């Protein structure tokens, strides 16, 4: 079997498939089939004895990414003993091992093992199992191949830091076979049989690991896919201190990497060859060197391999660092930011976790495809406003991945499971640092939503799930497009049948029937069962909140409600408001309101403690809008089927009376130069209203000027296809997500002057406000915008700046995360002092 099948802990190039269930591999009680919680194994230590620690690494032959992690693990546990399949590190290069010699396996003594140890892959599972670590209390494996398979007993705690499951045996098998010329013939059959055996062994040995730690959320999803196990994320250490901040940038771009196919350096060179006015510097060497040089033009300087001093110098001075690979993590991306250099990266894999492309302090931007055109578009987008990327913000973001931060986080994971580790370190003065309060394992979250449709509340929850993906599970009470979006995002999602509950309307005024109560009881029972594994329940909608409060009470878990409605009699019936009041008293630990307007009405209704209400404005992802920034409006209109020469006013929401689409239709009677575009469909028993709108159009001869597009996924394209975006709600809007989306689409917004919208729009500066329900005022405002192109441009420009500064995805997710973690932290503190 070719030794090329084994890669040196190189980052992975393929994303893991989404996971829908997280309980498939957990033990169940035979009599019920219910999922049993896994109990952490805590070593039984003799009084006063310090825990003995063993560190197991795959193989020791060089100092690369995995060995940098090993170096910091040994810094955490300086008295640990070291084990490895082989140890061929030269004596002059052993500094990172702190002078330790590894206990090795029989492969160390096999012929040619020093140079061809990888050829012994079929024997490595057996070899790792022969390493005797039975005398240790804690076993730490650093694994990208077989180290996690070391044998441990029931009284030992085994924590495995996984750089990746054995990638050449799993999702990248076919790629590695092709690169090793093993796609057919007897050798191919032998290789496939060996890899099949290794896959079976790899899954079986996952059961001996008590806790998985992944080097990124990307790898955490791969662990979930392969082993059906959760993994905490501790990002690998980057030597931030070796890179100096430089705030003055020069007029060239940089890319640096080993020149191998998956790094796509030739693609970057091709893109810059088509931009002769932009200068590119390429640092690195490898098998693709000839291909890179062949594509290089005079504006592309290929330096080949360079010592660190040269790389550091260019990285500090570069205008931006360009990165086109799909990596598990991507250390060079962090190193560039440590120099204060923003990053233009392929938006997949680890870069999504290390580069901030939204919010008030972005550190780079993404392109969506590994194509030269996409890189060119990203560079042009960068050049349109390079001042938005501050060197200080890039450096601050890179600090999150420092070696010290790694040590703090990883040591805390071990010390939480084995408290004697921290106690022994403190007693002997050997602890590498004091464990900070925020270094405890992040709380697990169970998010609950009643809907399967993709409404505003669901889109906002989707951003939270993406941001907290490694520690959040989602429970839905209906299937549909929302579940599909969660699957696509790689979330762990499960759908329960809501039964009779689906017929409950929030504006109902009568008590629920017996069938509804039975449906509620069933949902509470199933939610309670899943809540046992969570630290906090996060309810995203009103019906989900009711179920969550009841289940949380039974499971003794705190419940946080993300309030996305104004709970007034205009939106909710008498019984529903009474239920909300009852739930607030029964079991709500905290409330996140999407606007001050929502928070005020809720507090007045329930008399809820205002100290337990946080206002967090929704965040909206700019990426879909930015991707279309250079697409001509005429092209978008042709694709959608809209008239190319009309003045289009778009309304984007479900068709519901309180959303006020009829007001826009009435305004068309007073402003004959405008067309209306309605994007949305009736969702919750509102078909009669949709029929009224169409009847109005027919009765007033507006068929040529009104365009019903129905439900669509391409909202960004539809928004950029119109000239003005109208938000016409006739009752107070809790927030007004459409208003922010319109700003990101760089279109002037006209909105109703009420509710949460007034917290978004500054009249006359970032948009225009009208009296709710006043069709004549709306018509006059549309006419004003039709006649004044400079006003449209000014409103669009200021609206975009406002949306980016105040309603970015990153700050939104971080604010929700702080609330959820804070609720759990307060309960833990209360429990520890009880």
Residue 650 lies in a domain: yes
Whether 285 and 187 map to the same domain: the answer is: no
How many independent structural domains does the chain possess? 4
Residue 714 has pLDDT above 90, yes or no: no
| 1-15, 89-103, 242-256, 405-419, range with the lowest pLDDT | 1-15
| 26-35, 68-77, 370-379, 411-420, range with the lowest pLDDT | 26-35
pLDDT tens by residue, 56-67 = 999 998 887 788
Residue 367 lies in a domain: yes
Confidence of residue 427 (pLDDT cuts 50, 70, 90): very low
Per DSSP, the residues of 68-129 read: HHHHHHHHH-TT-EEEES-B---GGG-GGGTT---B--GGGGSTTHHHHGGGGGGGHHHHHH
Whether 154 and 300 map to the same domain: the answer is: no
Residue 356 lies in a domain: yes
| 349-358, 533-542, 597-606, range with the lowest pLDDT | 349-358
Whether 536 and 588 map to the same domain: the answer is: yes
Whether 225 and 118 map to the same domain: the answer is: yes
Whether 330 and 360 map to the same domain: the answer is: yes
Of 812, 832, 809, which Cα lies nearest the Cα of 820? 812
- 184 versus 3: which is more confidently predicted? 184
Residue 234 has pLDDT above 80, yes or no: yes
Residue 555 lies in a domain: yes
Whether 85 and 193 map to the same domain: the answer is: yes
Residue 513 lies in a domain: yes
Residue 525 lies in a domain: yes
User: Stretch 41-54: mean pLDDT, rounded?
Assistant: 70
Q: Which helix (H) or strand (E) holds 767?
A: none
Domain final residue, candidates 192, 218, 233: 233
Whether 278 and 199 map to the same domain: the answer is: no
Whether 201 and 290 map to the same domain: the answer is: no
pLDDT at res. 512: 54
User: Stretch 539-547: mean pLDDT, rounded?
Assistant: 94
Residue 423 lies in a domain: no
Average pLDDT, the chain: 86
Domain final residue, candidates 601, 619, 637: 619
Put the strands of the sheet holding 588-593 in their side by side order.
492-495, 472-476, 445-449, 536-539, 559-563, 588-593, 613-615
Domain final residue, candidates 619, 652, 680: 619
- Three-state SS for 506-559 is CCCCCCCCHHHHHHHHHHHHHHHHHHCCCCEEEECCHHHHHHHHHHHHHHCCCE
Residue 440 lies in a domain: no
147, 169, 203, 676 from 150: Cα distances, Å: 6, 18, 13, 66
Q: Report the CATH number at residue 559.
A: 3.40.50.2000
pLDDT at res. 292: 95
Q: Quote the domain boundaries for residue 249.
A: 240-401
pLDDT at res. 634: 93
Residue 171 has pLDDT above 70, yes or no: no
pLDDT at res. 42: 55
pTM of the model: 0.52
Whether 258 and 137 map to the same domain: the answer is: no
Whether 660 and 576 map to the same domain: the answer is: no
Whether 570 and 664 map to the same domain: the answer is: no
Q: Report the CATH number at residue 188.
A: 3.40.50
Confidence of residue 827 (pLDDT cuts 50, 70, 90): confident
Residue 431 has pLDDT above 60, yes or no: no
pLDDT tens by residue, 475-502 = 999 998 899 888 877 778 899 976 655 5
Whether 63 and 200 map to the same domain: the answer is: yes
Helices (H), 249-402: 265-273, 289-295, 308-317, 331-338, 351-354, 372-384, 391-398
The answer to whether residues 7 and 167 touch, using CB atoms and an 8 Å cutoff, is yes
Report the interhelical angle of 775-787 vs 789-806 (nearest 10°). Answer: 110
User: Stretch 26-45: mean pLDDT, rounded?
Assistant: 43
């Amino acid at each position: 079997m070719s030794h090329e099948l084994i890669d040196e802990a190189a980052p992975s190039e393929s994303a893991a498939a989404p996971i829908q269930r997280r309980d498939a591999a957990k033990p169940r009680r035979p009599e019920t089939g219910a999922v049993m919680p896994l109990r952490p194994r805590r070593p039984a230590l003799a009084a006063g004895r310090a825990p003995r620690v063993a560190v197991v690494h795959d193989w020791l032959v060089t100092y690369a990414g995995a060995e940098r992690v090993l170096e910091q693990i040994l810094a955490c546990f300086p008295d640990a003993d070291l084990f490895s399949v082989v140890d061929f590190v030269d004596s002059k290069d052993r500094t990172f091992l702190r002078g330790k010699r590894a206990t090795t396996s029989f492969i160390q003594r096999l012929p040619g093992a020093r140079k061809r140890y990888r050829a012994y892959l079929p024997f490595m599972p057996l070899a790792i199992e022969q390493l005797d670590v039975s005398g240790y209390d804690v076993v730490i494996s650093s694994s990208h191949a077989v180290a996690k398979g070391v044998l441990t007993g029931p009284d030992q705690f085994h924590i495995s830091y996984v750089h990746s499951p054995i990638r050449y045996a799993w999702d990248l098998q076919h790629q590695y076979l092709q690169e090793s010329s093993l796609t057919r013939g007897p050798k191919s059959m032998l290789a496939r049989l060996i890899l099949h055996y290794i896959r079976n062994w790899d899954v079986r040995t996952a059961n001996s690991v008590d806790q998985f730690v992944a080097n990124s959320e990307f790898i955490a999803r791969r662990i979930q896919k392969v082993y059906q196990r959760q993994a905490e994320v501790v990002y690998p250490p980057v030597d931030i201190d070796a890179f100096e901040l430089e705030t003055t940038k020069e007029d060239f771009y940089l890319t640096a990497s080993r020149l191998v196919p998956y790094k796509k350096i030739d693609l970057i060179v091709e893109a810059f060859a088509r931009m002769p006015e932009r200068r590119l510097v390429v640092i690195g060497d490898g098998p693709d060197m000839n291909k890179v040089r062949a594509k290089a033009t005079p504006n592309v300087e290929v330096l080949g391999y360079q010592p660190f001093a040269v790389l550091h110098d260019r990285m500090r001075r570069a205008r931006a660092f360009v990165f086109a690979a799909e990596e598990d993590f991507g250390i060079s991306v962090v190193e560039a930011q440590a120099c204060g250099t923003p990053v233009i990266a392929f938006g997949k894999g680890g870069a999504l976790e290390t580069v901030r492309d939204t919010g008030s302090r972005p550190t780079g931007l993404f392109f969506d495809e590994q194509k030269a055109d996409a890189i060119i578009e990203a560079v042009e987008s960068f050049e349109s406003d390079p001042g938005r990327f501050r060197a200080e913000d890039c450096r601050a973001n890179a600090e999150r991945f420092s070696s010290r931060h790694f040590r703090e986080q990883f040591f805390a994971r071990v010390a939480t499971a084995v408290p004697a580790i921290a106690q022994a370190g403190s007693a002997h003065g050997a602890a590498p640092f004091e464990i900070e309060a925020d270094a405890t394992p992040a709380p697990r979250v169970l998010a609950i939503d009643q809907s399967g449709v993709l409404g505003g509340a669901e889109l906002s929850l989707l951003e939270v799930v993406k941001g907290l993906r490694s520690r959040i599970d989602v429970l839905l009470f209906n299937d549909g497009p929302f579940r599909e979006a969660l699957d696509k995002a790689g979330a762990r999602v499960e759908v329960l049948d809501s039964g009779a509950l689906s017929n409950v309307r929030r504006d109902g005024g009568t008590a629920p029937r017996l069938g509804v109560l039975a449906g509620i009881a069933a949902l509470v029972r199933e939610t309670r069962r899943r809540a046992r594994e969570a630290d906090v329940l996060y309810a995203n909608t009103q019906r989900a909140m009711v179920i969550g409060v009841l289940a949380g009470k039974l499971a003794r878990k705190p419940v946080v409600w993300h309030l996305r409605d104004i709970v007034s009699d205009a939106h909710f019936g008498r019984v529903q408001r009474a239920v909300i009041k009852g739930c607030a008293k029964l079991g709500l630990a905290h409330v996140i309101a999407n606007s001050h307007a929502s928070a005020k009405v809720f507090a007045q209704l329930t008399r809820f403690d205002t100290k337990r209400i946080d206002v967090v404005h929704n965040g909206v992802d700019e990426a879909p809008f930015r991707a279309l920034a250079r697409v001509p409006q005429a092209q978008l209109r042709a694709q959608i089927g809209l008239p190319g020469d009309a003045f289009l006013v778009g309304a984007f929401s479900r068709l519901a009376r309180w959303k006020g689409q009829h007001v826009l239709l009435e305004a068309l009677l007073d402003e004959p130069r405008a067309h209306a575009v309605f994007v949305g469909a009736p969702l919750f028993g509102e078909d009669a209203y949709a029929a009224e709108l169409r009847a109005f159009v027919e009765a007033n001869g507006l068929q040529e000027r009104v365009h019903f597009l129905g439900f669509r996924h391409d909202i960004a394209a539809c928004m950029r296809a119109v000239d003005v975006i109208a938000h016409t709600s006739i009752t107070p809007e809790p927030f007004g997500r459409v208003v922010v989306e319109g700003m990101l689409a760089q279109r002037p917004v006209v909105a109703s002057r009420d509710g949460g919208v007034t917290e978004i729009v500054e009249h006359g500066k970032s948009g225009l406000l009208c009296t709710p329900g006043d069709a004549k005022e709306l018509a006059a405002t549309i006419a004003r915008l039709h006649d004044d192109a400079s006003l449209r441009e000014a409103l669009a420009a200021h609206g975009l700046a406002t949306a980016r500064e105040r309603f970015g995805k990153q700050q939104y997710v971080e604010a929700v995360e702080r609330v959820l973690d804070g609720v759990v932290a307060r309960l833990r503190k209360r429990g520890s002092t009880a």
